[in-house]
Amino acid sequence: MLGEIQRYKITYILIILNVVVYVYTSFLSLNPMDMNLEVLVDMGALYGPYVLEQGQWWRLLSAMFLHAGATHLFMNMFSLYLVGRGAEIYFDGKAYISIYILAGFIGAFSSLYMHPQSVGVGASGAIFGVFGALAGFFVAHREGMASHSKAFMKDFAIIIGINLVIGFSIPSVDVSAHFGGLMAGFIGGFILAKNPKSLSLYIGLMLAVMLVFYFYLSA
């Protein structure tokens, strides 16, 4: 077990961070199963009026570590466990973290664009970004990785099923964030598969996309 944790330490660190934040949020909500909406907003949930009208852009980051309830947390962390270990095999630590955070940001911007008045929480955008990165990697190397692709498609089916359940059962989960994160991750995975030294190119591209979102939403 210790060897597994050391090998996939970034994934386990991310899981631990999400769980710690959830425990603290549940303490404030006085309910370990379902979080109080006001507490989520106070803790940094993505809420359009606060972000767009009051300039609280830090919520794009904080919302990634908040979850609406125990089911939401468990399903997201299980998904992260599945895809995160694969990401640590095919990408280095800097690339993995960059994809996770940037995809989470793009997912949050997508959510603001589609639902500017809604409250949104969850790591789904970032997790879908990691998943998308693996998809991009396998597409770039599709000719030589048939066996790995089969295993990936199995995980794909599980994660899609999980997120369909999340999307239809938890109102504060926004599917548009999933799509935004997925696309951001796919682009990163494809670019890095072609040239692992192109991380700065990917970061620059995602920053440009975020600037477009920022100026559009702030107009």
Choosing from 178, 198, 200, 218, the catalytic residue is 178
212: pLDDT strictly greater than 60:
yes
| Residue 150: per-residue pLDDT | 63
- The pLDDT of 137-146, averaged and rounded, is 75
- The pLDDT of 167-182, averaged and rounded, is 74
| Residue 4: per-residue pLDDT | 80
What's the rounded Cα separation, in Å, for the pair 7 and 5? 5
Domains in the chain with CATH codes: 2-218 (1.20.1540.10)
Catalytic, 67? Answer no
Using only C-alpha atoms, the chain has a radius of gyration, in whole angstroms, of: 17
| Closest of 63, 75, 67, 98 to residue 160, by C-alpha | 75
> Are 80 and 72 a contacting pair, CB within 8 Å?
no
Catalytic, 72? Answer no
What's the rounded Cα separation, in Å, for the pair 132 and 177? 13
Instruction: For 11-52, write each residue's pLDDT tens digit.
Output: 999 999 999 999 999 999 999 899 999 999 999 999 999 999
Instruction: For 61-94, write each residue's pLDDT tens digit.
Output: 999 999 999 988 998 999 899 899 989 999 999 9
What's the rounded Cα separation, in Å, for the pair 103 and 185? 6
Tokens of 183: 């696309």
What's the rounded Cα separation, in Å, for the pair 140 and 118? 36
| Residue 94: per-residue pLDDT | 96
Choosing from 111, 124, 172, 176, the catalytic residue is 124
Residue pointed to by tokens 């199995």: 154
